[in-house]
Structure formats: C-alpha cells, structure tokens
C-alpha cells in the first residue's frame, strides 16, 4: 500500500494533468480511513441503569428466583462478592476518562464475568445488554477469577478443621461408613486451544487435549480439596502421586480422626474411591466381583456413597458451563484461575443455601487449630514423617478396614 502511494506521488509530480491531483487526495483519504480505528459509543451509563433496574433496584423487573437462575447465586451473596472484589481490586472501581466521562461500573464488569462463567459464552455476547466490549469483558473475567482466588481461597479452598471433621464423621457414621471424610475422583476439562506442541502430552484416552481436576467432595457436595493442572494423558494414580491431598496428614498437621469399626481402632480418616486407586489405608474401594450377600451389600453401599464426588462434578459443571464445554483460553494459568474460581463460588453457593435447620445437633470441641509445623532440622520428626507415609500406604490396614466395614454394613442391614 505504501509503495503504491509513493508511485502515484511520483506520477503526480512528473505529470501536469489536473486529474492526478484529485486521484492523489482520494488515495490519501482512503488509506487514512482504513487505518482509522472505529469508535463505538456504547453508552455505559445506559447499560448500568438498565442492569440496575432489572436486578438490583428496590423493586426490580426480575424477581429473586430469576436472579438466582441467571447469576447462579442469590442477590445478597452476589452483592457480598461484589463489595469484596471492589475493595481488593482497583480494576473494578468505576473511573472517569480524560474528558470526564464515566466508564464501566463494577456491577457491569462483574456481571459480564459471571455470565461468561455461568453460560460459557464468548466475550462479546453481553455487549448488547451490558454495553461492554470484547477485550474489556475478557480482561474482567481474568481479573475477577484471579481476585476471587486471592480473596476467598483461604476460606473456601481449605482443608477441613476439627469442627468440620466432627460433622463429617457424624454424618458418615449415620450412612454406615465410620471414619469417612468424603469421596475422591478426577474430572477432565477439554482444552480446545491447547498449543500444538503440547497436544500429545495433554491428550489421553479421549484423544483430545484435556486438563485434570482432582477433587474431594463430601455428602453436601462441598469440595474440600481441588488439584488442577495435570495433563490429560495421566491417569488417576499419576495425579495422586503429584497431588497434595495427604500432605498435611503426612506432616502431622492434620486434625486427629479417631473412630472404631468392628472392634478395631483407627486413627486415619479415609476417602471412598473407585478401583484404579491404590490399596492404601486412606482409601476404601468397592469389590469388583462381589460374592455373597455381605460383599454385594457392601459394594452397593460403597458405590452409592462414592457418587458424592460425581454429583459434585455434575453440579459444578451445571452451574458454570464454561468448564463443561471446551476451553477457548490459551494460557494454563488463566485456566487454573477459572477452575479454582468456579470451585470457590460453588462452595460459597452451598454455604449460602445450606439449611441450618436440617443440620445435625453436634457439640463441637473447640480445639486449638495451631497444629505443630514439621521441622526440617530434627531427625526424629523426619523419621516420624517417613513413618506416617508408610502408614498411609499400608495395604494390610486397607484390607483390614475393608473387612471391618463389610461386617459393619452387614450388621446395620440385619438390624434394619
């Protein structure tokens, strides 16, 4: 284009024709029009006012049930999240530009981010309603997920404390599995825009690039542990070897779990798992080909209770469609923040909608949560660490616990 322009300029200088002057001006104007960036007047104020009247006014257009369905959470919870995000991230504070015009409000940016998480739509899908551009919507999504992870991870992605373990053990005892802390399993998230050089590493049994989420969920679908980022070519055992699910237990910093089954005392809680997981003391698996009424009843009860984590994955994907479909992001760090943010919001919704009237009447022992830290200098503590790791992977204790649970389940069944 530049060479063509200079050729015409030389012809103009060497020509005496008056028409060449008009042609030159037309070419200059055409090139300037092509390079000029088109500005879209979206009227941010009108978009904010429409959003406020529809959902946040004193008498909104849409009632609370439609707000819950479209935002995946109640209005008070959304306002709580909005206030915390605005207080900790200056990006979501409404500003004025150089000529004094108000920009996008925090409500518009966070609504666009939540709609993208909830519906899994593209960045420019909400432009017509919220009046937000594609690049701004993408930046709002990334900033929102990063801020959610930094603010709420310590509260909604933590390990269970003493009170939580007391509640989980009480519910597990009622379900016929004393000592159970939840169920563990893995979920794959398709990565559509995986770099070509990484596709072989991230492609597993489904022949498409995926990223694995390992999670532990309890009976109320609360996700107590989430480990995300392993390539999809790994299986559940490889993910387990690299995860941190038993780190606190091996270091002696986990709250104590003491229970008795069939006359035997145990000091480690366990998770219900499927057949691929190893035979450790901290896992209770089903019986592949049960023989006899006792084994059949135990296998049925174990597989029924283990569905907690499968239900948690289903509810998580139903609430946030962005992790149900193939991801269109390019960077693994952004995908990690999106997955963690969805898990945190999932737990916040469960806590907000939990019915306190249906909870168990449990008297908690308020113990000191300052558990001892593992030292790296004393040999005795290092040997204790090795001993605890060996106890976690004790296969004989795994078989003994399984036999005790079989007898315990059959005893409860016979009493009924």
From the centroid of its chain, how far is CA 59?
Answer: 33
The pairing of strands 283-285 and 223-231 is unpaired
Instruction: Assess contact for 333 and 341: CB atoms under 8 A.
Output: no
pLDDT for position 202:
92
- For the chain, give percent helix, strand, coil, nearest 5: 55, 10, 30
pLDDT for position 375:
43
Tokens standing for residue 280:
């450790």
CA distance 319 to 71: 9
From the centroid of its chain, how far is CA 222?
Answer: 12
pLDDT for position 415:
81
Query: What DSSP designation does 283 have?
Result: E
- The candidate with the shortest Cα–Cα distance to 414, out of 271, 254, 293, 235, is 293
Instruction: Assess contact for 270 and 281: CB atoms under 8 A.
Output: yes
pLDDT mean values, one per 10 residues, the chain (416 residues): 56 54 51 59 85 92 93 94 94 85 90 93 86 90 95 92 92 92 94 91 88 94 94 92 89 87 90 93 91 91 93 95 90 94 96 70 44 48 84 90 91 83
Which residues, 6 or more positions from 355, have their beta carbon under 8 angstroms from its beta carbon? none
Tokens standing for residue 250:
């091996």
From the centroid of its chain, how far is CA 404?
Answer: 35
Instruction: Assess contact for 82 and 88: CB atoms under 8 A.
Output: no
pLDDT for position 6:
53
HSE-CB for 221 with a 13 A CA cutoff: 20
CA distance 150 to 85: 10
Kindly report the length of the chain. 416
pLDDT for position 13:
55
pLDDT for position 101:
80
pTM, two decimals, is 0.84
Tokens standing for residue 118:
């909830």
Instruction: Assess contact for 362 and 165: CB atoms under 8 A.
Output: no
Instruction: Assess contact for 353 and 345: CB atoms under 8 A.
Output: no
The pairing of strands 210-217 and 223-231 is antiparallel
- The candidate with the shortest Cα–Cα distance to 151, out of 74, 82, 248, 212, is 82
Longest Cα separation, the chain: 111
pLDDT for position 255:
86
Mark 307-316 as b/e (b = at least 16 C-beta within 10 Å).
ebbeebbebb
Burial class (CB in 10 A: 0-12, 13-18, 19+), 57: exposed
């Amino acid at each position: 284009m530049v060479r063509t322009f200079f050729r015409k300029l030389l012809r103009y200088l060497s020509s005496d024709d008056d028409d060449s002057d008009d042609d030159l001006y037309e070419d200059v104007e055409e090139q300037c029009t092509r390079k000029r960036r088109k500005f879209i007047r979206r009227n941010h104020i009108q978009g904010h006012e429409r959003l406020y009247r529809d959902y946040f006014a004193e008498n909104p257009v849409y009632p609370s049930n439609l707000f819950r369905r479209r935002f995946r959470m109640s209005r008070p919870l959304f306002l709580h999240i909005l206030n915390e995000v605005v207080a900790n991230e200056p990006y979501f504070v409404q500003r004025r530009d150089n000529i004094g015009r108000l920009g996008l409000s925090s409500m518009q940016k966070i609504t666009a981010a939540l709609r993208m998480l909830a519906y899994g739509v593209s960045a420019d899908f909400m432009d017509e309603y919220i009046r937000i551009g594609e690049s701004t919507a993408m930046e709002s999504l990334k900033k929102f997920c990063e801020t959610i992870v930094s603010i709420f991870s310590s509260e909604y992605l933590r390990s269970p404390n003493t009170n939580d373990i007391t509640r989980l053990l009480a519910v597990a005892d009622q379900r016929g599995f004393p000592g159970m802390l939840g169920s563990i399993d893995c979920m794959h998230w398709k990565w559509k825009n995986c770099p070509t050089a990484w596709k072989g590493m991230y492609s597993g049994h489904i022949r498409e690039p995926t990223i694995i989420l390992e999670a532990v969920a309890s009976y109320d679908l609360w996700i107590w542990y989430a480990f995300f980022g392993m390539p999809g070519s790994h299986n559940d055992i490889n993910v387990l070897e690299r995860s941190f699910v038993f780190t606190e237990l091996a270091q002696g910093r986990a709250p104590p779990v003491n229970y008795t089954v069939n006359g035997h005392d145990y000091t480690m809680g366990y998770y219900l798992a499927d057949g691929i997981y190893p035979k450790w003391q901290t896992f209770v698996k089903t019986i592949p080909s049960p023989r006899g009424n006792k084994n059949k009843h135990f296998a049925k009860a174990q597989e029924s209770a283990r569905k907690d984590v499968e239900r948690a994955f289903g509810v998580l994907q139903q609430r946030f469609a962005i992790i149900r479909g193939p991801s269109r992001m390019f960077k693994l760090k952004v995908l990690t923040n999106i997955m963690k943010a969805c898990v945190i919001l999932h737990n916040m919704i469960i806590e907000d909608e939990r019915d306190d009237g249906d909870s168990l009447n449990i008297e908690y022992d308020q113990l000191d949560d300052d558990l001892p830290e593992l030292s790296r200098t004393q040999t005795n503590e290092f040997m204790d660490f090795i001993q605890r790791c060996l106890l976690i992977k004790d296969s004989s204790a795994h078989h003994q616990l399984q036999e005790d649970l079989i007898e315990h389940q059959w005893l409860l069944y016979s009493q009924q």
